[in-house]
Chains A and B, each alone.
Chain A
């Protein structure tokens, strides 16, 4: 029982980080039909912004703020202006290929500019233990979970309780109608890119103490978040959250109780099952198109 609790908490913490990244996937898809295969590298990059800022003498909290700001500038604004806007008019496929190219560029650039070796990354809180029903829960896992939940709640409040959020949702659901209603569609699309940049930066701060900062981190994270988004539903934010959490817990439980060798296969089995039985994802909605 104690082991199960530990695995669940740890899985939830990892799953919550996957969820943040997966939410970014779905936001970009809903507002601009961008399938961003550089999303994993977008998570990898802010950790190096933060480490660079710390090397320049900034304390960790300030370095995190600098990392988030640089993330907004580069993986939000610059990404949209330089990669998405010119490619989007040519269709989804050229844009997908562009993001794959961008992911390779970012990975190699970080390797050349910083190091090919993993770097230690500070944790948000010191490592102490909390004892619950015989299980030893790390404060770091709890902190990761708390920050991830707070971020998702804040995002939901923004999307559902503010005029800005409703405008963004309207843009995602029907950009033509949104434009007729006077919503500045292009600005709303830009905001989703900036929100995605903040989400990946927060995910980076949470995951890097566990993974260590390394230029290859994006490969695993990008794939995990992509699978999570498909399992949950690519066109629903809450679907991406559910998908991320399922993936995190499944990974931990399968490694502990089934087989650590085949742990990587279980999420893919779930993915195949979802595609076969519920192609729109667990919480996704069916999109119909007239041809």
Chain B
């Protein structure tokens, strides 16, 4: 009987069924798997997010980890596919993670987060679709603004900065783009700005010539562009090719350094709202940007900051509760404000509300000579 029990345990362990159930409470490491867009159309976002997290994990582990435990962060590639993201979340949940990190694409987040909610495991996501935090899920936490936070800021800029009376909207037809488009159109209506062209594009779309012709024909005062990184660059190149002179306004992605590099000069003159940027006039952010560049040999975009500060958010909350308790983490993190004085590597004061939405300062920027230039710092919405 004893021998057959041992045999059963050995078989179970070899299948990965037995040991992980106790891994969190007995191991010297804390298991926090990251599911990211390491290939496919979200690769730019996913790799930046990954590298930001890696930098934070290396720093924390070098100093002894969180509560004496080193962070174990295996990386899984969702290939930018929601279905794959969901199956990978299911897989990692079997190993009882403390927290699940990622994904970044909103569609993948929306598909995967029901599983983490059922398992009562907090999930730290990079997605910006408004719907993510509107589903009464107490286990989902953002690392950047949701669209319901960023779109009012961009709408104010359209009205007060650009002084637009009419606007064209170009958006990517996925959860991220549709959510952003809906929020933006709503904000435009409340400010009496007329949307004269509403053009949807496909994720991964390569040829934007027809879309640019359509938008050009609409002759709006401004064009709002809400696409993923690579599509943003392709659009900007086509817009330049077709001689568009109307102000191109974006939200964070359009002014990201990767987009600027890919667009090769076509991004100059682009303006917009930037939630996070390494060009922010904040010494801690600049110091982080230098560490990141030294470690990975490229300039990180906002996703790198999201990944980095996200890990320090986990560290701060965990040390505050004094133990690795996923449920207690979720309860404590709602309503928490972390200042750089309390945790220097949070970089900027940030508050997570009861829905898991984040609020912090943001910026208005412009692309000048192939570089993002910050022209104004905007206060937290809650201030």
Contact = CB atoms under 8 A, between A and B. Distances in A.
Interface of A: 3, 6-7, 10-11, 14, 111, 116-120, 127, 129, 136, 138, 140-141, 209-212, 214-217, 220, 251-253, 255-256, 260-261, 263-264
13 contacts: A3-B217, A7-B213, A10-B207, A14-B207, A14-B209, A116-B39, A118-B44, A138-B241, A138-B242, A212-B206, A212-B230, A212-B262, A215-B39
Contacts of A120: 233, 261-264
A256 B214 contact: yes
Given A10-B209, A264-B202, 19 more contacts: A3-B213, A3-B217, A7-B213, A10-B213, A14-B209, A118-B44, A118-B230, A120-B262, A141-B241, A211-B206, A212-B234, A220-B206, A251-B207, A256-B211, A256-B213, A260-B199, A260-B202, A260-B210, A261-B200
Chain B interface mostly: helix
B210 A251 contact: yes
A260 B201 contact: yes
Contact of A6 (B213, B230, B240, B263): B213
Interface of B: 38-41, 43-44, 47, 173, 199-202, 204, 206-207, 209-211, 213-214, 216-217, 230, 233-234, 237-238, 240-243, 258, 261-264
A210 B241 CA distance: 10
B210 to A, nearest CB: 4
B172 to A, nearest CB: 11
A261 B173 contact: yes
Given A129-B243, A136-B242, A261-B173, A118 B209 contact: no
Contact of A216 (B38, B40, B207, B262): B40
Contacts of B234: 210-212
A255 B240 CA distance: 19
A116 B43 contact: yes
Contacts of B211: 255-256, 260
Contacts of A252: 207, 209-210, 213
B195 to A, nearest CB: 15
A140 B40 CA distance: 27
A131 B238 CA distance: 16
A291 B211 CA distance: 51
